[in-house]
Structure 1
Amino acid sequence: MHFEKIDLKKHQDTVVKFRKDSFKASFGDDAGFGDEEDYLNWLVVKTREFPEGFVLIEECSKYIGQLELTIREYRGNTIGYVNLYYLVPEMRGLGKGKELHNYAMQFFENNKVGEYHLRVSTSNKAAITFYHKIGMKEICPEVEGKVIRMKGYL
């Protein structure tokens, strides 16, 4: 497994496809994805700010996943934030999520944060189970109860 920094000139189609598929896995469709141009503009900013946090995961010369990791403020504290943990459907349930998680933990450690958060769809039971397994705890519902904010510690 290899982690490659996202280069939008090279990876634009892949990152959009993966991000849209993450919405399908989480919410049943990609209606909540929003505007593709807005997403790409956000990626331009964030890949400059956190180049090691925005990576594609490659295995056997094929992209199998994507990570989007940032550092942000939350209620007066600096935390790590997982914007996206993504694996293509055929790679889910094979233990590869743990490798993505290990990469994320190293990124957060390198950025000197001891706490990290993410939001997960209430209907994405497999993801919630995974997050509990890696030690994350539920904090509160958000977005009118459609997602759960979770936190973990390094």
Structure 2
Amino acid sequence: MTQPTLFVLNGPNLDLLGQREPDIYGHQTLADVEVSCRAEADAAGLALRFHQTNAEHEMIGWLHEARVGAAGIVINPAAFSYAGYPILDALKMCDCPIVEVHISNIHRRDEAWRKDSLMTAAATGIISGLGIHGYALAVRHIAHLRAGRGGAEL
């Protein structure tokens, strides 16, 4: 039997995680994020698709792949959060849980425009400000939902 697939999708500039503004985003890399997500997915019996892109059309393509039958989507839309209406539309078509993750606490950032993510309208839940640990928590939450234990009592 094929394992259900969990998509972990990362937006613009996250390929530079660990180098870009480490005072905000930390020193860990996207490879570190993938290792922690893969460990959580493996423990839950989920296959993992882990991607990063700086191109909106690639993100939309992966969301179309996940649209029907995915175990869930963990998405850090990064800068797509503020202007990615096509990505929001693609997320709204997905029939699985969606957890939006932000490494920094977007509500405490100096720039007012960072506080409001368009993607929140399509998300099942949001994790913001827990560093890269938020990704593993998001994967664990989706596994929790798949196990039929609901969402609120984590």
TM-score by length of 2: 0.35
Which structure dedicates a bigger proportion of its chain to strand? 1
Q: Which has the higher contact order (CA 8 A, sep 6+)?
A: 2
